[in-house]
Amino acid sequence: MLYKKPLVNLTPLLDLLFIVIFAYQMNVNLGIDDHIQTEVEKRIDQHEVEKQQNEKSLKQAKEELLNIVEMINREKANLSEIQKQLAPLKELESRRKELSEKTDRDKKTEMGISGGWNLQLHIYRLIGPQGNTMSVDRQTQYTINLSQKESYITGELLGAVRRKDDPNFDKGLSCGQADIKGEIQNSGEIVLIFTYTGNCCPGSQEILRGRIDSDGNLAGDLKWARTGMCIGAWAKVVGTRR
């Protein structure tokens, strides 16, 4: 004979199961929240450490910059002090230079070129009135008298003759009358300006630039400065005392 079992009330069990499941989910969620919070706290701590490190580095950079500025200021002060110490030396050097220049002028005065000279001219170029040039090889001798007063020189050309051993001896004439003015420059160079007078190329000029060599001779170059209607010459010059 079949019979029907009485129904069991499962509601309390279901409620208990729901509570268990909810509690489990809560624990899981709490675990996840704790993990996230831990990571956030780590990131915050790391950021704080980095911030402190950056502030420390910035502080060190500022200190180094201040040290550099202080060092530069010390060097400027040292340089200023050195310049003050060197000022008397610069004054002494300036004084020494002045004395040296005065000595050079005295030497030039003592050297003296007053007296008679024979100038041997080796002419290597002729210049025509129109500026046309011609290469030559000629020998001429000037006879001059000079008078020196301090650095200033005056004198005259007494004559000019072709050397007889010059193959062009019979070609053309050399003017032999001129006034001479010049000076001994600070560099020691002697400058003589020949201005021709008389009937031969009046007003034409030659300039001799030279120095007294170790043998006491006057060595230099003669160049025609103003040709007028004459033919001028460029020449190497060696002068000896008469």
Is the model's pLDDT at 13 over the cut of 80? no
Question: Which has more pLDDT, 96 or 156?
Answer: 156
Does the pTM of the predicted model rise above 0.75?
no
Identity at 106, one-letter amino acid code? D
pLDDT at 19: 67
Look up residue 230 and give its DSSP letter: S
Give the pLDDT band (50/70/90) at residue 118: very high
Is the model's pLDDT at 52 over the cut of 70? yes
pLDDT at 170: 44
- Dump pLDDT digits (tens) for 166-178: 555 444 557 889 9
Domain 112-241 has CATH 2.40.128.120: yes
pLDDT at 182: 95
- Dump pLDDT digits (tens) for 129-182: 777 889 999 899 999 999 999 899 999 999 888 755 555 544 455 788 999 999
Question: Which has more pLDDT, 28 or 88?
Answer: 88
Give the domain ranges of the chain: 11-111, 112-241
Is the model's pLDDT at 183 over the cut of 60? yes
Question: Which has more pLDDT, 175 or 195?
Answer: 195
Question: Which has more pLDDT, 3 or 240?
Answer: 240
Give the pLDDT band (50/70/90) at residue 208: very high
pLDDT at 102: 58
* Cβ atoms within 10 Å, residue 126: 18
**27-64: string of b/e by CB count within 10 Å (b at 16+)?**
eeeeeeeeeeeeeeeeeeeeeeeeeeeeeeeeeeeeee
Average pLDDT, the chain: 79
Question: Which has more pLDDT, 165 or 211?
Answer: 211
Give the contacts of 139 (CB within 8 A, at least 6 positions apart).
120, 121, 122, 123, 162, 163, 165, 166
pLDDT at 178: 92
Give the pLDDT band (50/70/90) at residue 16: low
Contact 168, 162 (CB under 8 A): yes
pLDDT at 4: 45
pLDDT at 161: 83
pLDDT at 3: 39
